[in-house]
Amino acid sequence: MAHDHEVPELLDDIKTPALKPGSMGHLAPYPATEKHMKPLGFPEARVPDWEKRAVEKMGEMLKKYRSLQVYMDICVKCGACTDKCHYFLGTGDPNNMPVQRAELMRSVYRRYFTVGGRMFPGLVKARDFDEETLKQWFTYYHQCSQCRRCSVFCPYGIDTAEISMAAREIMDAIGVGHKYTAEIVNKVHDIGNNLGIPKPALSGTLQFLEDDMLENTGHEIKLPLDQEGAEVLLITPSADFFSEPHIQSLMGYAKVFHQAGISYTISSYASEAANFGMFIGSFEQKKKIAKRVAEQARALKVKRIVVGECGHAWRVAYSFWNTLNGPFDYLDPRYPVPQHICEFTHDLIQKGALTFDKEANDAYVVTMHDSCNVARASRMGSHPGGQFTIPRDLIRATCNHFVDMDEDTIHEKTLCCGGGGGLLTDELMDLRIKGAMPRVTALKRVMDEHKVNFLALICAICKAQFNKILPMYGIPMDTVGGVHQLVSNAIQLGTNKGIV
């Protein structure tokens, strides 16, 4: 494994780079093989008539998804998006400008689905779906983290994430898949979670953490598994059972449930909040993965579902669960379906059920990184913008020192961590490092100006990405952590227990 990646120099501010055409053309992810493609219902290898099949698939999708048709037709090449993608800002490769990334598909669309392109392809810059085009698709549609920052600035609201999802779906349909995501989707089907943690390991891990919390707090804080009749089913990313700093947030959730006196359970069958079906644009896979949650909610007879700190999982849960596997009419209608863990903790604070010793976090000056799928593809709570205010309210309730980063880099304009959308894989490390540069630049600024030393967030991918990338920029890895890690540090146990 090479460790000698080139790390961009951080400037005072995020600047538009000089163009470096083709500079990222070499960096494609590992292709999926038969072992991972076949069980997902995709061709096990590239099919012989792949050009024809890809165009047919594109035709089907244009009919099925009217949005895609609009995105193909409506772009006026105004250029508003060109300097908004973190991968373009970090690499200078024009194919990482959102307009140009989409053009890789639009040029094919024009060739096969417009009169001008069919008759005079050269005049309208229409391209055949050939070997070179496919290579570019596989490369650059895996250099998009589907974060949707560009769409915030597009006057027509063109959603590049949806275009990149469609491209990946078309490629899967001809047997050209991405190993990292395909392997993970298989693991969820086979074992129940992205990491492939079997039930005995999960059970042992939770027991270990219970013992750990008892030792450290003196309180018997439970992490129940497969408990029928619990009030709440907690669905959280499996990284919360495995990695630092993710585990810290898991213990934070457990302490909140404990202190509020609300019974809950984790499920070994639905032990994953993440849903990589979304990253590959597959409705069927997304539905099948999410179905495990709906089935377990019924089987365990819970009344509510609460989702842990995972960005794209929250998008899938908040925006798609009901369409995929609803209606959830067997749950308690007094609570939102689903409910985010931040919203859950926030409500308890409003009710006076939780108290905090903010001084426990006095070593930290905290800033908040809004994760893309939470910020731009969902909401939280009952007020517009709740996805921004609720996590920040939790930070302010548990910490004395909080400061936001530059306003162009937070809320709906937040910059991606550089590892989302199924790109959190080591062979794309060069892209991940460069793509993180804009976010790290904004972070470094508040570190220098306000002595910030803690980057709080609510996404498992962002946590893993920053944990790996920040040290490369000379920032300690423990600078990054979950919002519920701060909750965990400050929550007062044993007072006013069970108020609600």
Partner 1 sequence: MPSFELNGRTYETDEDGYLINLSDWNEEVAAYVAKQENVDMSENHWEVVNFLREYYEEYKIAPMIRILTKAIGKKLGKDKGNTKYLYDLYPGGPAKQACKIAGLPKPTGCV
Q: Using CA atoms, how far apart are residues 308 and 248, in angstroms rounded to an integer?
A: 12
- Residue 113 amino acid letter: F
Which of residues 36 and 53 has its CB atom nearest to partner 1 in the complex? 36
CB 248 within 8 A of CB 487: no
The label of the residue with tokens 């060069």 reads 430
Q: Using CA atoms, how far apart are residues 264 and 262, in angstroms rounded to an integer?
A: 6
Q: Using CA atoms, how far apart are residues 108 and 165, in angstroms rounded to an integer?
A: 16
What is the residue-wise DSSP string for 96-128? GSHHHHHHHHHHHHHHHHSHHHHH-TTTTT---
Q: Using CA atoms, how far apart are residues 319 and 377, in angstroms rounded to an integer?
A: 8
CB 139 within 8 A of CB 74: no
What is the residue-wise DSSP string for 343-409? HHHHHHHHTT---B-GGGGTT--EEE---HHHHHH---SSSTTHHHHHHHHHHHHH-S-B----GGG
Residue 210's Cβ-count burial label (10 Å; 0-12, 13-18, 19+) is middle
Which of residues 35 and 497 has its CB atom nearest to partner 1 in the complex? 35
Diameter over CA atoms, the chain: 76
Strand 339-340 relative to strand 366-368, pairing:
unpaired
Q: Is 93 helix (H, G, I), strand (E, B) or coil?
A: coil
Kindly report the number of other CB atoms within 10 A of residue 219's CB atom.
14
In the complex, least distance from residue 293 CB atom to partner 1, rounded to whole angstroms: 17
CB 131 within 8 A of CB 51: no
In the complex, least distance from residue 182 CB atom to partner 1, rounded to whole angstroms: 11
Which of residues 207 and 350 has its CB atom nearest to partner 1 in the complex? 207
In the complex, least distance from residue 70 CB atom to partner 1, rounded to whole angstroms: 32
Which of residues 2 and 18 has its CB atom nearest to partner 1 in the complex? 2
In the complex, least distance from residue 184 CB atom to partner 1, rounded to whole angstroms: 5
Contact set with partner 1 (CB under 8 A):
1, 3, 30, 179-180, 183-184, 187, 193-198, 200-201, 204-205, 208-209, 212, 237-239, 241-244, 246-247, 274, 310, 424, 426-427, 460-461, 463-464, 468
Which of residues 209 and 354 has its CB atom nearest to partner 1 in the complex? 209
Which of residues 108 and 460 has its CB atom nearest to partner 1 in the complex? 460
In the complex, least distance from residue 412 CB atom to partner 1, rounded to whole angstroms: 23
Which of residues 359 and 426 has its CB atom nearest to partner 1 in the complex? 426
CB 275 within 8 A of CB 460: no
DSSP state of 178: B
In the complex, least distance from residue 197 CB atom to partner 1, rounded to whole angstroms: 5
Q: What is the CA radius of gyration of the chain?
A: 23
In the complex, least distance from residue 385 CB atom to partner 1, rounded to whole angstroms: 26
Of 436, 421, 405, nearest to 7 (Cα)?
436
In the complex, least distance from residue 419 CB atom to partner 1, rounded to whole angstroms: 9
In the complex, least distance from residue 251 CB atom to partner 1, rounded to whole angstroms: 10
Which of residues 251 and 437 has its CB atom nearest to partner 1 in the complex? 251
Buried b (16+ CB within 10 A) or exposed e, 100-122: bbbbbbbbbbbbbbbeebeeebe
Which of residues 126 and 184 has its CB atom nearest to partner 1 in the complex? 184
Which of residues 237 and 336 has its CB atom nearest to partner 1 in the complex? 237
In the complex, least distance from residue 247 CB atom to partner 1, rounded to whole angstroms: 6
In the complex, least distance from residue 308 CB atom to partner 1, rounded to whole angstroms: 12
Which of residues 180 and 344 has its CB atom nearest to partner 1 in the complex? 180
